[in-house]
Amino acid sequence: MLSEAKSASGGAEEKTVAAGTENQNPPAPAPKKKSSCWLVGGIIIAVVIVLLLIASFLGFRLFTYPAMLLSNYFDKTGNNSAEVGVSKNVDPALVGNWDTGCLVPDSNSPWAERHTFTISSNGTANHKRYSGNSCAAIAEDHNDNINFTIPSSGKINLTYTSGIAAGSTSYDIYKVSGDTLRFGHGFCNCSKDLATGDYGLTEATRFSLLNEFLVYKKQ
């Protein structure tokens, strides 16, 4: 009986020791938890990168859009301070599309002409002439690209870069009154500057009288 009690007591002690040992050495964390941490971290990093890219793009747009608006504004007003195109000294009143409509200088002569001018704020322009035996029969026969400068108020130098007059410069004058534009050059029903020899071929022979027949109207 005594030996059985001891045996039972010893078994209880062994169980107690074993239980203590188990409490002192808990099992290691499962490896799956570590891999899940890496997955969450990767997702966070990816989200941060995407947000940075979006912020960078939006920041670029926020910076460039006002600059673009300012550029368009100055280009339209003709007051751009940077050297754009050919001239930075363009009269804003010149900028636009101009058209003479069909003109007949002499009702007894079978001849008619129409002229158009498209003038840009960067110092470039395009001139077209339409001519024929009547207004119904006119067709385009001149298409001139022009670089122009304005040396002083009312004066304009037209340098032809293409067309029949390519390579030449006309030293001209101009006047804008409301929605009408006049130059010194052009055909008319008068003697104009031809009587004085002012043909605008040089600065010394710059046109001095406005052509009152070839009148452009703003479109």
* Per-residue pLDDT tens digits for 95-153: 999 999 999 988 888 899 999 999 999 999 999 999 999 999 999 999 999 999 999 99
Distance separating alpha carbons of residues 139 and 105, to the nearest angstrom: 17
pLDDT of 27-54, one tens digit each?
555 555 556 667 777 788 888 888 887 8
CATH number assigned to the domain covering 92-218? 2.40.128.640
Q: Please state, in angstroms and as integers, the Cα–Cα distance from residue 62 to each residue in 17, 57, 91, 211, following that order.
A: 72, 9, 32, 50
What is the model's pTM?
Answer: 0.59
Among residues 184, 126, 191, the alpha carbon closest in space to that of 155 is found at: 184
